[in-house]
Amino acid sequence: MADSPSTKRWLPLEANPDVMNQFLWGLGVSADEGECFDVYGLDEELLEMVPKPVLAVLFLYPITPQSEEERIQQDSSVKVKESSNGVYFMKQTVGNACGTIGLLHAVGNITSEIKLVEGSYLDKFFKSTANMNPSERAAFLENDREMEVAHSVAATGGDTEASDNVDTHFICFTCVNGQLFELDGRRAGPISHGASSPNTVLQDAAKVIQEIIQKNPDSINFNVIAISKKTGA
């Protein structure tokens, strides 16, 4: 889950909706507002099974020499927006924190769609970091003991034994101002993948994810999780 400039390392979050739900619900996303779900496949029929509306998509992929080379090449060719342009973005400076960064990227860009519990950790976090730049947000998180403890509890609550020796990485996809953005704390800024909408964000993200998977045909360690808004019965 990505080495980082900081010496601090956390245990990685498991790509498990139950773990992520308990993490988010405990920090201030009401269980009545949002929930994480597995995406079992990227063809249209399986995408239609995901509860709607989808607000954000998390993608876990293996870090390989090939993926790292492609990332470097993409950084030089794809338009990386150094200015946020309305996108909530933060750098990753803590090792193995990409799962938490991905969830913060997701929630930080959908605060107009879901109601955070007033006075909760996430409510205070996003209010405190709203006017910070991506590096300042990273430093704020790195020094935030409450989040470190919450992350540790979630990381040890999965089905597999937590280890800091991992070779996978989480990124987030979400729609902001009519564009699909890829949010990766290892990048200089948000990456735009073109036009999108709240109604098509899952399908649009799936197309980008499929391209990443096709470039790594020998890898099977991929996982896609959607964060959907509760609409009630």
* Catalytic residue set: 98, 169
DSSP state of 174: E
| Spatial distance between the Cα atoms of 195 and 49, rounded to a whole number of angstroms | 23
Neighbour order of strands in the sheet with 223-229:
34-38, 223-229, 54-62, 168-176, 179-183, 191-195
The helices-and-strands tally (H runs, E runs) of the chain is 8, 6
Phi-psi region of 92 (alpha: psi -120 to 50; beta: other; left: phi over 0): beta
3: phi then psi, degrees, rounded to nearest 5: -70, 160
